[in-house]
Homo-oligomer: A and B are copies of this chain.
Protein backbone atom coordinates (compact mmCIF):
# COMPACT_ATOMS: atom_id res chain seq x y z
CA UNK A 1 0.00 0.00 0.00
CA UNK A 2 1.38 3.37 -1.04
CA UNK A 3 0.74 6.56 0.93
CA UNK A 4 0.78 8.70 -2.20
CA UNK A 5 1.23 7.95 -5.89
CA UNK A 6 2.10 10.84 -8.19
CA UNK A 7 1.47 10.47 -11.91
CA UNK A 8 3.63 12.69 -14.09
CA UNK A 9 7.26 13.82 -14.08
CA UNK A 10 6.97 17.50 -15.04
CA UNK A 11 7.51 20.37 -12.60
CA UNK A 12 4.12 19.86 -10.91
CA UNK A 13 4.66 16.16 -10.26
CA UNK A 14 8.25 16.64 -9.16
CA UNK A 15 7.31 19.47 -6.81
CA UNK A 16 4.54 17.37 -5.31
CA UNK A 17 7.20 14.69 -4.79
CA UNK A 18 9.58 17.13 -3.09
CA UNK A 19 6.86 18.21 -0.66
CA UNK A 20 5.43 14.72 -0.07
CA UNK A 21 8.96 13.44 0.44
CA UNK A 22 9.67 16.10 3.04
CA UNK A 23 6.50 14.94 4.78
CA UNK A 24 8.09 11.45 4.85
CA UNK A 25 5.37 9.90 2.74
CA UNK A 26 7.97 8.14 0.56
CA UNK A 27 6.04 9.07 -2.59
CA UNK A 28 5.99 6.85 -5.66
CA UNK A 29 6.25 8.96 -8.83
CA UNK A 30 5.28 7.24 -12.08
CA UNK A 31 6.91 9.20 -14.87
CA UNK A 32 4.75 8.51 -17.90
CA UNK A 33 6.39 8.38 -21.31
CA UNK A 34 7.11 12.12 -21.60
CA UNK A 35 9.90 12.47 -19.06
CA UNK A 36 9.93 15.95 -17.55
CA UNK A 37 6.69 16.91 -19.25
CA UNK A 38 6.28 19.96 -21.46
CA UNK A 39 9.00 21.84 -19.55
CA UNK A 40 11.62 19.30 -20.58
CA UNK A 41 10.83 19.96 -24.24
CA UNK A 42 11.51 23.67 -23.77
CA UNK A 43 14.90 24.71 -25.05
CA UNK A 44 15.40 27.54 -22.59
CA UNK A 45 13.26 28.49 -19.61
CA UNK A 46 13.88 32.19 -19.03
CA UNK A 47 11.08 33.03 -16.67
CA UNK A 48 11.30 30.45 -13.91
CA UNK A 49 12.35 32.59 -10.95
CA UNK A 50 15.79 31.89 -9.52
CA UNK A 51 17.70 31.38 -12.77
CA UNK A 52 18.64 34.87 -14.02
CA UNK A 53 20.48 33.54 -17.06
CA UNK A 54 17.78 31.05 -17.98
CA UNK A 55 18.09 27.29 -17.76
CA UNK A 56 17.39 24.44 -20.15
CA UNK A 57 14.04 22.82 -19.56
CA UNK A 58 15.53 19.35 -19.32
CA UNK A 59 18.23 20.55 -16.94
CA UNK A 60 15.66 22.26 -14.70
CA UNK A 61 13.48 19.18 -14.42
CA UNK A 62 16.55 17.04 -13.70
CA UNK A 63 17.44 19.34 -10.79
CA UNK A 64 13.90 18.96 -9.50
CA UNK A 65 14.13 15.19 -9.81
CA UNK A 66 17.37 15.12 -7.78
CA UNK A 67 15.64 17.22 -5.15
CA UNK A 68 12.64 14.88 -5.04
CA UNK A 69 14.90 11.83 -4.75
CA UNK A 70 16.91 13.50 -2.00
CA UNK A 71 13.73 13.51 0.10
CA UNK A 72 12.89 9.89 -0.54
CA UNK A 73 10.85 9.89 -3.74
CA UNK A 74 10.94 6.64 -5.72
CA UNK A 75 10.90 7.52 -9.42
CA UNK A 76 9.42 4.72 -11.52
CA UNK A 77 9.84 4.90 -15.30
CA UNK A 78 6.52 3.44 -16.33
CA UNK A 79 3.19 4.51 -17.74
CA UNK A 80 -0.22 4.29 -16.12
CA UNK A 81 -2.70 2.34 -18.24
CA UNK A 82 -5.63 2.24 -15.84
CA UNK A 83 -6.73 4.09 -12.74
CA UNK A 84 -9.63 3.01 -10.57
CA UNK A 85 -10.76 5.89 -8.40
CA UNK A 86 -14.15 4.37 -7.59
CA UNK A 87 -12.76 2.39 -4.68
CA UNK A 88 -10.43 3.29 -1.84
CA UNK A 89 -7.56 2.60 -1.69
CA UNK A 90 -7.28 3.67 -5.31
CA UNK A 91 -5.83 1.16 -7.78
CA UNK A 92 -3.24 2.28 -10.31
CA UNK A 93 -2.13 -0.10 -13.05
CA UNK A 94 0.99 0.48 -15.10
CA UNK A 95 2.59 -1.65 -17.79
CA UNK A 96 4.79 -3.16 -15.13
CA UNK A 97 2.79 -3.33 -11.92
CA UNK A 98 -0.38 -2.64 -9.95
CA UNK A 99 -0.35 -0.30 -6.99
CA UNK A 100 -2.83 0.47 -4.24
CA UNK A 101 -2.59 3.94 -2.78
CA UNK A 102 -4.23 6.00 -0.07
CA UNK A 103 -3.93 9.20 -2.07
CA UNK A 104 -3.24 10.17 -5.67
CA UNK A 105 -1.77 13.28 -7.25
CA UNK A 106 -2.47 13.64 -10.96
CA UNK A 107 0.12 15.75 -12.75
CA UNK A 108 -0.22 14.25 -16.20
CA UNK A 109 0.00 17.60 -17.93
CA UNK A 110 -0.91 18.29 -21.51
CA UNK A 111 0.11 17.04 -24.93
CA UNK A 112 0.60 19.06 -28.10
CA UNK A 113 -2.57 19.66 -30.09
CA UNK A 114 -2.48 18.27 -33.61
CA UNK A 115 -3.40 20.31 -36.68
CA UNK A 116 -5.48 17.45 -37.99
CA UNK A 117 -4.41 17.91 -41.62
CA UNK A 118 -3.39 15.32 -44.21
CA UNK A 119 0.24 14.25 -43.91
CA UNK A 120 0.64 15.31 -40.29
CA UNK A 121 0.24 11.87 -38.82
CA UNK A 122 2.09 10.18 -41.69
CA UNK A 123 5.22 12.27 -41.20
CA UNK A 124 5.22 12.37 -37.40
CA UNK A 125 8.81 11.76 -36.32
CA UNK A 126 9.98 12.05 -39.93
CA UNK A 127 9.64 15.79 -40.43
CA UNK A 128 6.67 16.65 -38.25
CA UNK A 129 7.77 17.48 -34.71
CA UNK A 130 6.43 19.08 -31.55
CA UNK A 131 9.76 19.59 -29.83
CA UNK A 132 12.46 21.88 -31.18
CA UNK A 133 14.81 20.94 -28.35
CA UNK A 134 14.50 17.28 -29.21
CA UNK A 135 14.66 17.49 -32.99
CA UNK A 136 16.07 20.91 -33.94
CA UNK A 137 19.56 19.51 -34.39
CA UNK A 138 18.42 17.41 -37.36
CA UNK A 139 17.61 20.56 -39.35
CA UNK A 140 21.08 22.02 -39.63
CA UNK A 141 21.15 24.32 -42.68
CA UNK A 142 17.65 23.24 -43.62
CA UNK A 143 14.38 25.13 -43.93
CA UNK A 144 11.63 24.58 -41.38
CA UNK A 145 8.14 25.86 -40.69
CA UNK A 146 6.85 26.65 -37.22
CA UNK A 147 3.07 26.76 -36.86
CA UNK A 148 1.54 29.01 -34.21
CA UNK A 149 1.88 32.52 -32.82
CA UNK A 150 2.10 32.14 -29.05
CA UNK A 151 5.10 32.13 -26.73
CA UNK A 152 5.99 28.52 -27.45
CA UNK A 153 5.83 28.92 -31.23
CA UNK A 154 7.91 32.07 -31.37
CA UNK A 155 10.46 31.03 -28.74
CA UNK A 156 11.05 27.72 -30.42
CA UNK A 157 11.26 29.40 -33.84
CA UNK A 158 14.06 31.57 -32.47
CA UNK A 159 15.75 28.50 -31.03
CA UNK A 160 15.51 26.72 -34.40
CA UNK A 161 17.45 29.52 -36.11
CA UNK A 162 20.52 28.10 -34.36
CA UNK A 163 20.30 25.18 -36.76
CA UNK A 164 18.04 25.99 -39.67
CA UNK A 165 18.97 28.33 -42.50
CA UNK A 166 15.42 29.70 -42.54
CA UNK A 167 12.41 29.46 -40.29
CA UNK A 168 8.91 30.33 -41.49
CA UNK A 169 6.44 31.14 -38.73
CA UNK A 170 2.97 30.39 -40.04
CA UNK A 171 0.26 32.06 -38.01
CA UNK A 172 -3.46 32.22 -38.68
CA UNK A 173 -3.76 35.83 -37.54
CA UNK A 174 -1.97 39.04 -38.43
CA UNK A 175 -0.26 39.54 -35.10
CA UNK A 176 1.56 37.30 -32.69
CA UNK A 177 0.32 36.42 -29.24
CA UNK A 178 3.78 35.86 -27.78
CA UNK A 179 5.08 38.22 -25.09
CA UNK A 180 6.50 41.38 -26.60
CA UNK A 181 10.11 40.74 -25.63
CA UNK A 182 9.87 37.45 -27.51
CA UNK A 183 8.14 39.00 -30.51
CA UNK A 184 10.81 41.65 -30.79
CA UNK A 185 13.58 39.06 -30.87
CA UNK A 186 11.76 37.24 -33.64
CA UNK A 187 11.31 40.40 -35.71
CA UNK A 188 15.01 41.18 -35.32
CA UNK A 189 16.07 37.73 -36.45
CA UNK A 190 16.97 37.64 -40.16
CA UNK A 191 16.35 33.93 -40.45
CA UNK A 192 12.71 34.25 -39.41
CA UNK A 193 9.98 35.05 -41.91
CA UNK A 194 6.43 35.59 -40.72
CA UNK A 195 3.63 34.11 -42.83
CA UNK A 196 0.52 35.92 -41.62
CA UNK A 197 -3.16 35.00 -41.84
CA UNK A 198 -2.31 31.49 -42.91
CA UNK A 199 -2.98 27.94 -41.89
CA UNK A 200 -1.36 24.69 -42.94
CA UNK A 201 -3.69 22.65 -45.14
CA UNK A 202 -1.44 19.67 -45.85
CA UNK A 203 2.03 18.34 -45.10
CA UNK A 204 3.69 17.34 -48.37
CA UNK A 205 6.42 14.80 -49.05
CA UNK A 206 7.43 11.34 -50.07
CA UNK A 207 9.86 9.63 -47.69
CA UNK A 208 10.33 12.83 -45.75
CA UNK A 209 8.66 16.21 -45.66
CA UNK A 210 9.30 18.40 -48.68
CA UNK A 211 6.85 21.19 -48.04
CA UNK A 212 3.59 22.43 -46.60
CA UNK A 213 0.55 23.60 -48.49
CA UNK A 214 -0.76 26.72 -46.82
CA UNK A 215 -4.00 28.58 -47.16
CA UNK A 216 -4.53 32.30 -46.62
CA UNK A 217 -7.55 32.58 -44.33
CA UNK A 218 -8.46 36.07 -45.63
CA UNK A 219 -8.57 35.46 -49.38
CA UNK A 220 -8.64 31.66 -49.51
CA UNK A 221 -5.55 31.50 -51.73
CA UNK A 222 -3.36 28.44 -51.45
CA UNK A 223 0.36 28.17 -51.98
CA UNK A 224 3.22 25.83 -51.19
CA UNK A 225 6.22 26.48 -48.97
CA UNK A 226 9.23 24.25 -49.54
CA UNK A 227 10.37 23.10 -46.09
CA UNK A 228 12.23 20.11 -44.69
CA UNK A 229 10.32 19.97 -41.44
CA UNK A 230 7.38 21.38 -39.52
CA UNK A 231 7.18 22.17 -35.80
CA UNK A 232 3.70 22.66 -34.44
CA UNK A 233 2.79 24.81 -31.43
CA UNK A 234 -0.94 25.34 -31.70
CA UNK A 235 -1.97 24.61 -28.18
CA UNK A 236 -2.34 21.62 -26.01
CA UNK A 237 -4.86 19.02 -24.89
CA UNK A 238 -5.02 17.71 -21.32
CA UNK A 239 -3.95 14.15 -20.58
CA UNK A 240 -7.09 13.08 -18.76
CA UNK A 241 -8.37 10.14 -20.79
CA UNK A 242 -7.70 7.73 -17.88
CA UNK A 243 -9.97 9.73 -15.60
CA UNK A 244 -12.97 10.35 -17.85
CA UNK A 245 -16.18 9.40 -16.08
CA UNK A 246 -14.35 9.19 -12.74
CA UNK A 247 -13.38 12.80 -12.09
CA UNK A 248 -15.14 16.06 -12.88
CA UNK A 249 -13.56 17.58 -15.98
CA UNK A 250 -14.30 20.96 -17.52
CA UNK A 251 -15.71 21.42 -21.01
CA UNK A 252 -12.24 21.19 -22.55
CA UNK A 253 -11.26 18.09 -20.61
CA UNK A 254 -9.14 19.69 -17.90
CA UNK A 255 -9.55 18.41 -14.33
CA UNK A 256 -11.67 20.64 -12.15
CA UNK A 257 -9.94 21.59 -8.90
CA UNK A 258 -10.55 24.04 -6.10
CA UNK A 259 -7.83 26.37 -4.85
CA UNK A 260 -6.47 23.54 -2.69
CA UNK A 261 -6.11 21.22 -5.70
CA UNK A 262 -8.87 18.89 -4.53
CA UNK A 263 -10.65 17.10 -7.38
CA UNK A 264 -14.21 15.79 -7.22
CA UNK A 265 -12.95 12.59 -5.53
CA UNK A 266 -11.65 12.90 -1.94
CA UNK A 267 -8.03 11.82 -1.76
CA UNK A 268 -7.39 12.57 -5.43
CA UNK A 269 -5.56 15.83 -6.14
CA UNK A 270 -4.46 17.40 -9.41
CA UNK A 271 -1.59 19.81 -10.08
CA UNK A 272 0.06 21.56 -12.98
CA UNK A 273 -1.14 22.05 -16.52
CA UNK A 274 -3.74 19.27 -16.35
CA UNK A 275 -5.86 21.52 -14.08
CA UNK A 276 -4.40 25.00 -14.59
CA UNK A 277 -6.83 27.58 -15.90
CA UNK A 278 -5.03 30.90 -15.50
CA UNK A 279 -1.49 30.43 -16.83
CA UNK A 280 0.40 27.29 -17.79
CA UNK A 281 3.97 27.91 -16.72
CA UNK A 282 6.64 26.20 -14.63
CA UNK A 283 6.09 28.94 -12.03
CA UNK A 284 2.43 28.04 -11.62
CA UNK A 285 3.02 24.27 -11.81
CA UNK A 286 5.36 24.25 -8.82
CA UNK A 287 2.79 26.14 -6.75
CA UNK A 288 -0.04 23.74 -7.41
CA UNK A 289 2.30 20.75 -6.98
CA UNK A 290 3.30 21.95 -3.52
CA UNK A 291 -0.31 22.51 -2.49
CA UNK A 292 -1.45 19.12 -3.81
CA UNK A 293 1.20 17.32 -1.75
CA UNK A 294 0.37 19.14 1.45
CA UNK A 295 -3.32 18.43 0.95
CA UNK A 296 -2.56 14.74 0.30
CA UNK A 297 -0.63 14.66 3.57
CA UNK A 298 -3.61 16.15 5.40
CA UNK A 299 -5.97 13.67 3.75
CA UNK A 300 -3.86 10.72 4.90
CA UNK A 301 -3.56 12.10 8.44
CA UNK A 302 -7.33 12.48 8.62
CA UNK A 303 -7.83 8.95 7.25
CA UNK A 304 -5.74 7.68 10.10
CA UNK A 305 -7.83 9.56 12.60
CA UNK A 306 -5.13 12.05 13.48
CA UNK A 307 -6.59 15.46 13.97
CA UNK A 308 -4.46 17.50 11.63
CA UNK A 309 -3.12 20.65 13.23
CA UNK A 310 -3.89 23.93 11.59
CA UNK A 311 -0.85 24.86 9.51
CA UNK A 312 -1.20 28.60 9.78
CA UNK A 313 1.67 28.70 12.24
Contacts A22-B182, A64-B49 given; does A177 touch B311 at CB 8 Å: yes
CB of A89 within 8 A of chain B?
no
A33 within 8 A of B: no
Contact indicator B283/A290 (Cβ below 8 Å): yes
User: Nearest Cβ distance between residue A89 and chain B, in whole angstroms?
Assistant: 21
Contact of A70 among B48, B52, B66, B291 (CB under 8 A): B52
Beyond A50-B50, A281-B290, A289-B283, is A113–B313 a contact (Cβ under 8 Å)? Answer: yes
CA distance A164 to B149 in the complex (A): 57
Q: How far is the CA of A22 from the CA of B24 in the complex (A)?
A: 38
Closest to A62 in B: B52
User: CB-nearest residue of chain B relative to A55?
Assistant: B50
- Docked Cα-Cα span, A62 to B289, in Å, equals 24
Residues of B within 8 A of A117 (CB): none
Q: Are B278 and A259 in contact (CB under 8 A)?
A: yes
A184 near B: Cβ within 8 Å?
A: yes
When distances are taken between beta carbons in the complex, the residues of chain B under 8 Å from A51 are 50, 63, 67
Contact assessment for B286 and A177 in the assembled complex, using a CB-CB cutoff below 8 Å? no
Query: Range of interface residues on chain A?
Result: 35 or more
Q: How far is the CA of A113 from the CA of B295 in the complex (A)?
A: 24
Contact (A47, B24) CB under 8 Å given A71-B181, A113-B313, A284-B291: no
A253 at the interface (CB under 8 A from B): no
| A154 CB to nearest B CB, Å | 12
Kindly provide the distance from the CB of A43 to the nearest chain B CB, expressed in whole angstroms: 16
* Further 17 A-B residue pairs, CB within 8 A, beyond A18-B49, A153-B313, A285-B287: A14-B49, A24-B179, A24-B184, A48-B286, A49-B286, A50-B60, A51-B67, A113-B313, A149-B313, A177-B309, A177-B310, A234-B313, A259-B278, A278-B291, A281-B287, A286-B286, A286-B287
Chain A residues at the B interface, C-beta cutoff of 8 Å: 11, 14-15, 18-19, 21-24, 46-52, 55, 60, 63-64, 66-67, 70-71, 113, 148-150, 152-153, 173, 175, 177, 179-182, 184, 233-236, 259-261, 277-279, 281, 283-291, 294-295, 309-313
Interchain residue pairs with CB less than 8 A apart (23): A22-B46, A23-B180, A24-B179, A24-B180, A24-B184, A49-B64, A49-B289, A51-B63, A52-B66, A52-B67, A149-B313, A235-B312, A235-B313, A278-B291, A278-B294, A278-B295, A279-B290, A279-B291, A279-B294, A281-B287, A285-B287, A287-B287, A287-B288
